[in-house]
Structure 1
Amino acid sequence: RRGLILHLSAHAVRHEERGVGLVLEDPAGGPHILWKRTLEAFLAGSGGLRHVSLLVLSTCYSEELAQVFIEHGCLHVMAARGLVHDTTARRFAQSFYYELALHASLLRAWESAIKALAIDSDTVTAAEAEHFTFYGQKGAEQASVDSLCGVGNLALTPSAVAGPHKPIHNFIDVATFLDFRLPARPERFVGRSQLLHRLARTCYGPNGRRAVVIHGPAGVGKSAFAVEFADFVTAPGRLFSCASLLLRVTTPTLGAAIAGLEEQIEALARQLAVGACGGDG
């Protein structure tokens, strides 16, 4: 069934022989370039995008990729011609989705977003308004978010709502309940990007480390780095996507620290209704 709406925000590069490539990330946060030919082969081998009704490519040179997605089943694709600044792309997306939220059709929302950019006080943004293109305009005058996603057919069933006596199976809810969530990121964290990538690669892969110790003198920024690293590797699509928690250990002795960790992990396991391994596992 159709109805999926995808928004892809990424950088892009051009190569004389390979053409356009999307700059994505590997699980460790490093760059991974998906070239146009590779994308075509992948879509052809995976059955295409029959379930995607709308794809918004918020990336430079994406006009050259839009036709690829159309040919492989996507109904409507919005893309950018040539170079587009990040600020312009964000403002286009804000205006476009705002119109969709007001139940405008895809075509009207696209036209309204372009008009909003064209009258922007920033001259660069206004000049880039005409860079946004729309492929697959057939039926776009009537198509809206409601019609694409079938919102009127969605409903919650009683079985989908867990009662208060049942264990909490949502990880975020459990983290909130047990106060395992990470503290706020430092407002100004600079100078550690290479170390972030190095540590991520250390943990990545079948031979990756299962434990890493961050050490240094007091006040050097160990805790700040740990929080920044946790935020970095738990971003969607990265090494520990959407799965991080904070375990507080305040005891100075190793035995007591291990016992404290086991106690907190067992508490988390009880809320998730899963088994926790003992000291031997």
Structure 2
Amino acid sequence: MSTLQSAPATFGTLIREWRRRRRLSQLDLAIGADVSSRHVSFIETGRSMPSRAMVLRLAATLGVPPREQNHLLLAAGLAPEFTERRLDDPELAPVRAGIERVLAAYDPHPCLVVDRGWNIVEANAGTAVLLDGVAPDLLAAPNALRIALHPDGLAPRIRNLAQWRHHLLERLRREVTAAPGGELAALLAELEAYPGGGEADDQFGGVAVPLRLTAGDGSELTFLSTVTTFGTALDLTVAELSIEAFLPADEATAAALSHSGTVR
């Protein structure tokens, strides 16, 4: 058995892979990054080593996520741009405080925080309306997408499951395309195997995809979701967090939540 290991990919190889992933020619990338196509060619073939500013410029043009930008910098022999701390790190105390304020502000409307793998990091009390009836094993290590689409999760209560499933899977596919491989690709394959496909309706005329949920009393709750991210984060943990809020899409849902706090 050979003990040889593949050599680490060079910067030129990685940037070429990203360019092809984005379906751009060298000229397209050069125009977007405001450099010559000759310089792009030299970088990809290793005839020219990029500066830190050039790596970040090319990465921005290609829409490379922060974690993969670090990989590009390291391949070019440069220090990473983004640090990575645990969320409980003392230096991230302002971030945690901000998250708590956002969660409290949305209550009693469901609001949760997920990491890059869609694992639930924090949630407010209003999220109970979404988690009611979910199997305990799914809550032991809660993943928002798994909980939403698993047959033992929220799926049986989603009245427009085909539509909501399509919406979530398309979003995850875009994320996998942006950062191929790893846990997101495995999660996508798992979720695609769950039941719930079919023809999706279009209640909101293509403006937004609602979540139509059966409450414990048999009534229907209708939500529209919003996503908030930390756009200026220089820490990977923070940059990869998303705050997912579910706002009432009609007066009946707003009244139900405001009157009872959470509906079970």
Choose between structure 1 and 2: higher helix proportion. 2
Work out which of the two has the higher radius of gyration on C-alpha atoms and give 1 or 2.
1
Higher relative contact order (CA 8 A, sep 6+): 2
